[in-house]
Amino acid sequence: MKRATVVTLMIALSAASTLAQTPPPSQPTGKTLAATVAVFVFPAEGQTTEQQSKDEVTCYNWAVQNTGTDPFALAQQSAAQQAQAAQAKEDISKAGRGAGAKGALGGAAAGALIGEIANDDAGKGAAYGAAAGMIAGRRRSRKAKKSASAQVEQQSKAAQQATGQQLESFRKAFSVCLEAKDYMVKF
């Protein structure tokens, strides 16, 4: 009798160990269509997940048609605009290189001419002119970079704002459609 109890206990422990090692059934990890566009939907009338998915697709297409905005295309467009703005900023930072040298050349020529006219030493005039020209060239370059950078930043913000407004309009249309199909919706 003891032996049967021990065997039964071993079988039970073996089964428990096997169950403990078996992973639980996996939950769906994919986001719903509504969740990907940051709209939260609850089936107020007990709709199944399959029905909710169908309704979300229908409402998505309806919202795209009525607003002219596709959030996925908008995301790609926004990423391209951000990359373009970053490239423009990089180009601006590279553009002013050598401005001091160019200013120095112009200043040296002007200084030499002034030094010669004043019957002074043309070499000293060229040196003073080169220093002044270099400083002036760098200042102009910095000012131009700052202005161009501010313009790029302003254009980037305007594009982001427009994208945000388009997405907001899409979410409203998407939500209205889902609410008409008896879902509770928040975004």
Q: Give the start-to-end residue ranges of the domains of the chain.
A: 30-96+137-186
Question: In whole angstroms, what is the distance from residue 177 CA to residue 9 CA?
Answer: 59
Percent of the chain clearing pLDDT 90 (strictly above): 34
Q: What is the pLDDT of residues 31-90, one digit of tens each?
A: 899 999 999 999 999 999 999 999 999 999 999 999 999 999 998 988 888 888 888 878
Please list the alpha-helical segments (H only) found in the chain.
2-21, 33-36, 49-67, 71-95, 99-117, 122-180
| Among 36, 37, 80, residue whose Cα is nearest residue 168 | 37
Q: What is the pLDDT of residues 105-119, one digit of tens each?
A: 666 566 555 555 555
Rounded to an integer, the average pLDDT of 139-154 is: 78
Which DSSP state fits 24?
A: P
Residue 22 pLDDT > 60? no
Q: Say what the pTM is.
A: 0.59
Percent of the chain clearing pLDDT 70 (strictly above): 62
**What token pair was written down for 93?**
């930072």
